[in-house]
Amino acid sequence: MNKVENGNHLTVDEIEIKLLLDAIFLKYGYDFRNYSRASIKRRITQHKTIAGYQKLSDLQHQILVEEPAFRKLLHDLSVNVTEMFRDPLFYKKFRTDIVPILQTYPFVRLWVAGCSTGEEVYSLAIILYEEGLRERCQIYATDLNESVLKRAKTGIFPISKIKEYTTNYIQAGGSEQFSDYYTARYDSAIMKKFLKDKIVFSSHNLAIDGVFNEMQVVTCRNVMIYFNRKLQNRVVTLFRDSLCTGGFLCLGKKETMKFLSCEKDFIEIADQERIYRKHKS
């Protein structure tokens, strides 16, 4: 047998990470192989330490034979840090530049891809309500992580965050009483039912799943920063194919269509807020 020279010079750690990601894909179908390595490695290493594994190979064996161990790892692999009206100026722009165009449609479908615990979904629902679009819109909120979706569905957030969210809401151009949108119970703020009614929460994995409806708006903010170029290209192609002509794609503050395969299919309409519009193909 010939020995193949390995030009990559992978360290033992890197090889074990690669094997672990392969194991996850082969056993459970979740594909983290095209995530940015530095970040995924950090999260795996943290999980290893907190969950008390000596070696990555121990972790690999355990998640292969025990699904609950895998679910715990899965929870730690995705970044679930979010807030309501995060980057308020984006939401302000959404209200001034996107909403008037949405108002010309008889029915509006919006997809929040990678919605995590739902804070940004409820933020959008509030704006749509205030702008009179509630009765003719449907928000699809998806994530690959079932446990955060469950939390998103409850619409319960820590009351300690409400002060910050209220400030964000006002900076985002909100002019109503923010307290009208939730009920305070002990240390929780529970979002009102009329906001939840317009949201469908569902599992969807951007790395492997496909188009499920035609959308007027897709928001996917601070999700693609965790993907490598190959996966980013897959995901923006999926968004392009999901959007109607003239539909809007909203990315995170530090995300861009530059250098991505579908760049030519979109026009940038707000460079600071990273809002793009699909033009006629």
Partner 1 sequence: MNRQPKAIVLGVSTGGWQALNRTIPELPEHFPVPLITVQHMASSSDNILVKTLDQASHLTVKEADEKETLNKGTVYIAPANYHLMVEKNMTLSLSTGQPVNFSRPSIDVLFETAADAFGASLIGVLLTGASKDGSLGMLRIKNRGGLTIVQDPKTAAAPLMPQSAIDLIEADYVTGLDELANLLVELTC
Residues found near partner 1 in the complex (CB under 8 A): 13-14, 36-39, 41-43, 79, 81-82, 222, 225-226, 229, 232, 252-256, 259
Q: Which amino acid is at 133?
A: L
The least distance separating partner 1 from the CB of residue 121, rounded to whole angstroms, comes to: 16
The least distance separating partner 1 from the CB of residue 211, rounded to whole angstroms, comes to: 25
Nearer to partner 1 by C-beta: 41 or 48?
A: 41
Cβ–Cβ < 8 Å for 82, 117: yes
The least distance separating partner 1 from the CB of residue 38, rounded to whole angstroms, comes to: 4
Nearer to partner 1 by C-beta: 41 or 277?
A: 41
Q: What is the dihedral angle through the alpha carbons of 10, 12, 16, 17, rounded to the nearest 10 degrees?
A: -50
Nearer to partner 1 by C-beta: 149 or 223?
A: 223
Structure tokens at 104: 């010309």
Report the C-alpha gap between 90 and 78 in whole angstroms.
23
Nearer to partner 1 by C-beta: 254 or 280?
A: 254
The least distance separating partner 1 from the CB of residue 232, rounded to whole angstroms, comes to: 8
Nearer to partner 1 by C-beta: 129 or 227?
A: 227
The least distance separating partner 1 from the CB of residue 81, rounded to whole angstroms, comes to: 5
Q: Which amino acid is at 75?
A: H
Report the C-alpha gap between 257 and 251 in whole angstroms.
9
Cβ–Cβ < 8 Å for 218, 244: no
The least distance separating partner 1 from the CB of residue 200, rounded to whole angstroms, comes to: 25
The least distance separating partner 1 from the CB of residue 34, rounded to whole angstroms, comes to: 13
The least distance separating partner 1 from the CB of residue 160, rounded to whole angstroms, comes to: 16
Nearer to partner 1 by C-beta: 26 or 81?
A: 81
Nearer to partner 1 by C-beta: 108 or 235?
A: 235
Nearer to partner 1 by C-beta: 31 or 255?
A: 255
